Amino acid sequence: NAGVMQNPRHLVRRRGQEARLRCSPVKGHSHVYWYRQLPEEGLKFMVYLQKENIIDESGMPKERFSAEFPKEGPSILRIQQVVRGDSAAYFCASSPRTGGYNEQFFGPGTRLTVL
């Protein structure tokens, strides 16, 4: 019974390159959340997606960041033209969203380092 999977676990990019982070939710979960954890800080909400829909992107930086959750395949968080300030741990969580309260199950995270 696999949990949330994220890959890669560690990603190193040079300034100006693109970073692509992948998240495979728990089987059967149709809702995905992305959070960012900057060094020495708590997690901050970025975006909430349902398959083929962005539900809430209020935490996403206005430029360079995008997210998708296609009908088939993992959810992708894309960061274009990375800068040093993008260095952080990026966590994905999934939930079944069946009504009432739905627990979020977190993946192990992708640690992005921008040189």
Partner 1 sequence: AQSVTQLDSQVPVFEEAPVELRCNYSSSVSVYLFWYVQYPNQGLQLLLKYLSGSTLVKGINGFEAEFNKSQTSFHLRKPSVHISDTAEYFCAVSLFGNEKLTFGTGTRLTIIP
Which residues lie near partner 1 (CB under 8 A)?
4, 33, 35, 40-45, 48, 56, 59, 91, 93, 95, 97, 101-104, 106-109, 111
The residue among 5 and 17 lying less far from partner 1, judged by its C-beta, is 5
* CA separation for the pair 66, 20 (Å, rounded): 10
Question: Shortest Cβ distance from residue 4 to partner 1 (Å)?
Answer: 7
The residue among 40 and 63 lying less far from partner 1, judged by its C-beta, is 40
* Residue 85 dihedral angles phi and psi, to the nearest 5°: -70, -10
Displacement of CA 61 from its chain's centroid (Å): 13
First-to-last C-alpha distance (Å) of the chain:
37
Question: Where do the H-state alpha helices sit in 31-73?
Answer: none
The residue among 17 and 51 lying less far from partner 1, judged by its C-beta, is 51
Question: Shortest Cβ distance from residue 38 to partner 1 (Å)?
Answer: 10
Question: Shortest Cβ distance from residue 94 to partner 1 (Å)?
Answer: 11
Q: Check if the beta carbon of residue 107 is closer than 8 Å to that of residue 91.
A: yes
The residue among 35 and 82 lying less far from partner 1, judged by its C-beta, is 35
